[in-house]
Structure 1
Amino acid sequence: MRDAMLYKSSLHASLADPVLDTMNFLNEVTMRYPDAISFAPGRPYDGFFDTGHIFAHLHRYLDHLAEQGQSPQQIRTAMYQYGPTAGQIRDLIADSVRVDERIDVTPESIVVTVGAQESMLLTLRALMSGPDDVLMVSTPCYVGITGAARLLDIPVVDVEEPPDGFSCADFEAAILRERARGRNPRAFYVVPDHSNPSGTTLSQRARTELLELAGRHGVLILEDSPYRLVSPETPLPTLKSQDTDGVVVHLGSYSKTLFPGARIGYVIADQQIVDANGQITLLADELAKIKSMITVNTSSLSQAVVAGALLATGGRMSELNARPASYYGDAMRATLRRLDRRLPPGLRAELGVRWNSPTGGFFLNVQVSFDSDEDALTRSARNHGVIWTPMRYFYPSGGGHRTMRLSISYLTPIEIDEGIDRLATFIESETRRRPD
């Protein structure tokens, strides 16, 4: 009996896309060089986690259900059985985004998902219906959305972000260019606040112009903002809170504001859908139909833990995250100070190095004068004990070949200082390195 064999060419083409291998490569490098300091993972800082909090949140939610008049049997069913496909804590999420983000929507317009990643998959599957529909993305772009589009065979169009921030003029030009090609720009994905991977934030003027353009051209905006409430300054209003034309689908997540292991996200999709008979539903209802065929429902236990956290602060995740936000702000400033100290202006000019200075979030970018590819990363980890992420991973159509992403969220102050020292030594060595 011989082993069954399949040819890679017989599998879905997305499996040959290098983007799907990026996390595996970074994990492999990290495992091979365990003593290296890693600026790669965009994870929350472990020091804020306490296992006792999980039980406290869970008990708080169970008490809440009892206070709402549910019987012990109903509570057992809520925890042990399959729950509503759209989620069982939608009312608490609706209350939370109302007090924290000034987003006023009904619980029925929310679908609770397995992380924001499922929200992306559901939304793309629902919206992209024809062969000419395309997804536009602000580039550099989070690989999760481009990976989801690739899995669904959805064409992706870059709207490249200039060095000084997002350009609405470039966005409109891209819309017109795609329509001239006979394609339909259906949706535009953007992270308005401290984006992954660039760390940039849209100004209020850019937000206003973006909403106006989307409404005028009939393009939906997929707003993803996981870093707003873990950043030290008062954030600008979300796009959704300013959405008067119903053009924004808001993707939310508790991975950064609570903990990633909960795997709880949500999508706010209050757009009205009219069928051939004139019946009206919400886009959220359609997303729930798709979810029922993918994950059936989101873990009741995970929802209960998130609900307990929301109840603890009256829905104000910003209050729960005041200390982490301060920590991440300090970490970003410490990283920028150390870069400036270790690579002062004269040396920066000599080496051809520069970086941006985000005011929050987890990420910043460092531009160098050499190719920041996998080979360079391997040399960095092996010879200098420091790991970073190649920015080329975040350019769907190519780019970012001489830029690296640094994540500051997972490290202690001591690790940041040592890691930047190692990074600077690597940059000096690599810049002056003779070709093999």
Structure 2
Amino acid sequence: MRLDATSLHASLAEPVLGSIGFLNEITARYPDAVSFAPGAPHPDLLPDLAPERCFDRYLDRFLDHLVRDRGHTPDRARRLLLEYGPSRGLIGDLVAGALRRDHAVDVPEAAVVVTVGAQEAMFLTLRTLFGSRGDVLAVADPCFVGIRGAARLLDIDLVGVEETPFGLDLDALAARCRTARGTGRRVRACYVAPDFANPGGGRMPLEVRHRLLELAEREDFLVLEDNAYGFTAPPGTELPLLKALDRNRRVVHLGTFAKVCFPGARVGYVVADQEVVRPGSPGTLLADELAAAKSMVTVNTSPLCQAVIGGMLLEHGGSLIAMGRRKAELYQRNLTLLSEALDRHLAEGLPDGISWNRPEGGFFVRMTLPVPADTALLERSAAQYGVLWTPMAPFHLGSGGDHRLRLSCSYLDPAEIETGVARLAEFLRKEIR
């Protein structure tokens, strides 16, 4: 049996769906290269994890609750962690408690759905919200490839909004809303990462956060907030989540435990407290609809993985901030080292047209070149100079990223950052004309 590629979904032929696989492949081919490509948690943070201990910690709490409050026998309660679980998850109460304690986000447990990573949270949210071909999703340009890929798989049209160092250009977003209305369509939702977005690195000031929520109310769209990197903010510079400022339930909050906790567990969550109204029926929460959709996608998030994450939360007093504190210190150190190394090694002798940004947090630095930063240039960088980076074209809706690359510092040690930037400097001086 041979299948004609044109008979498959058209999204599978688009570069955005193959970008992560390509980076994994080229990294495997050049194992001795210093790689600024992966935006993954640092491996030194993983040996400290104790999944068995955390599982036991959560199990004690879980058994106590089910035996005392619900009349289960201990054996029956323990067995529930080995069976299919509820689609909305087991640790929603801990997630809601952590958001309340750390971020003043006061939502009920029923508004939380525990997902297979933030990627499933995005997919379920888009599938549930976008019921009409006339609905479009607004995204920053550039934006995270995961949301682009999910939208494309679901045949949801995207409109790009220019990104500034202070987050989305809200005047441009308002213009996109007007343009959509003029063609009989509507911006149904806007995806934003307000703190140190991947890949742009921009951060949305408090005033802009308020203005975004006002615009959402005025133009009647939802805000999909992804806050994977907010925990890396330097101490004393923390800003409230959009969900903490949300007074009219305009914000659907997407979260993950991958960066602050345990990436291999693949546990994320979505907070969706919007009311869904059907004529003649009692209202439900958007979270209920997401859980129904999830029951047809992954059925449930692994109870064992949830138990491990739940135990980790309990060990840190139910606090996401406490859980991520040591990780944040490492990433702040690495970002500072990367910025200092770039300033030192690239201070002079560079061709014209090379520049980079200096974000205060997150994992990424964005660099602009006077030539296309494409896969051919990356191959030359890896093979001849032993340094890898990420082309930014897949992050852009148009051609705006053709001359940009992304440097990630999260996966590297200080010595690797220094060596990698020295190699990058040699590569830029010798290869860029």
Cα distance in 2 for partners of 1:328, 1:292 equals: 36
Moved more, 169-178 or 268-277: 169-178
Letter of the structure 2 residue corresponding to residue 118 of structure 1: E
- Could you tell me which residue of structure 1 aligns to residue 63 of structure 2? 66
- Aligned match for 1:138, one of 137, 140, 148: 140
Map 1:248-327 onto structure 2 (within 5 A).
248-327=251-330
Kept in 2: contact 1:332–1:362 (CA 8 A): yes
- Aligned match for 1:160, one of 159, 162, 165: 162
Identity of aligned residues (%): 47
- Could you tell me which residue of structure 1 aligns to residue 240 of structure 2? 237
Q: Which whole-Å deviations, capped at 9, do the CAs of 1:78-122 have from their partners, x for residues lacking one?
A: 211111110011111110111111110000001000000011111
- Could you tell me which residue of structure 2 aligns to residue 102 of structure 1? 104
- Aligned match for 1:247, one of 234, 245, 250: 250
Letter of the structure 2 residue corresponding to residue 26 of structure 1: L
- Aligned match for 2:332, one of 308, 329, 333: 329
Cα distance in 2 for partners of 1:78, 1:138 equals: 42
Cα distance in 1 for partners of 2:154, 2:296 equals: 15
Q: Displacement, 1:76?
A: 2.1
- Could you tell me which residue of structure 2 aligns to residue 32 of structure 1? 29
Kept in 1: contact 2:66–2:77 (CA 8 A): no
Kept in 2: contact 1:100–1:315 (CA 8 A): no
- Aligned match for 1:215, one of 217, 236, 239: 217
Q: Displacement, 1:73?
A: 1.8
Secondary structure of the residue aligned to 2:207 is helix
Cα distance in 1 for partners of 2:251, 2:9 equals: 31
CA 1:66/1:162 → structure 2, altered by over 3 Å: closer, same or farther?
A: closer
CA RMSD of aligned residues (A): 1.3
Q: Which whole-Å deviations, capped at 9, do the CAs of 1:24-58 have from their partners, x for residues lacking one?
A: 11111111111000000010111111265111111
Kept in 1: contact 2:59–2:78 (CA 8 A): no
Q: Is residue 347 of structure 2 the alignment partner of residue 356 of structure 1?
A: no
Cα distance in 2 for partners of 1:164, 1:135 equals: 20
Cα distance in 2 for partners of 1:326, 1:100 equals: 18
Q: Which whole-Å deviations, capped at 9, do the CAs of 1:184-203 have from their partners, x for residues lacking one?
A: 11000010001100111101
Cα distance in 1 for partners of 2:74, 2:308 equals: 18
Kept in 2: contact 1:230–1:256 (CA 8 A): no
Q: Displacement, 1:68?
A: 2.6
Q: Displacement, 1:323?
A: 1.6
Q: Which whole-Å deviations, capped at 9, do the CAs of 1:2-26 have from their partners, x for residues lacking one?
A: xx11100111111111111111111
Kept in 2: contact 1:232–1:328 (CA 8 A): no
Cα distance in 2 for partners of 1:113, 1:379 equals: 39
Cα distance in 1 for partners of 2:343, 2:331 equals: 18
Moved more, 299-308 or 15-24: 15-24
- Could you tell me which residue of structure 2 aligns to residue 55 of structure 1? 52
Q: Which whole-Å deviations, capped at 9, do the CAs of 1:284-332 have from their partners, x for residues lacking one?
A: 0001110000000000000000100111122112112212111111110
- Could you tell me which residue of structure 1 aligns to residue 199 of structure 2? 197
Q: Is residue 18 of structure 2 the alignment partner of residue 21 of structure 1?
A: yes
Q: Which whole-Å deviations, capped at 9, do the CAs of 1:215-234 have from their partners, x for residues lacking one?
A: 11111000001111234334
Letter of the structure 1 residue corresponding to residue 413 of structure 2: T
Secondary structure of the residue aligned to 1:424 is helix
Moved more, 323-332 or 156-165: 156-165
Q: Displacement, 1:163?
A: 5.2
- The number of residues matched between the two structures is 427
Cα distance in 2 for partners of 1:202, 1:40 equals: 25
CA 1:52/1:254 → structure 2, altered by over 3 Å: closer, same or farther?
A: closer
Moved more, 47-56 or 34-43: 47-56
- Could you tell me which residue of structure 1 aligns to residue 8 of structure 2? 11
- Could you tell me which residue of structure 1 aligns to residue 115 of structure 2? 113
Cα distance in 2 for partners of 1:108, 1:125 equals: 20
Secondary structure of the residue aligned to 1:347 is coil
- Could you tell me which residue of structure 2 aligns to residue 225 of structure 1? 227
Q: Which whole-Å deviations, capped at 9, do the CAs of 1:244-275 have from their partners, x for residues lacking one?
A: 01110000000101021010000000000000
Moved more, 262-271 or 171-180: 171-180
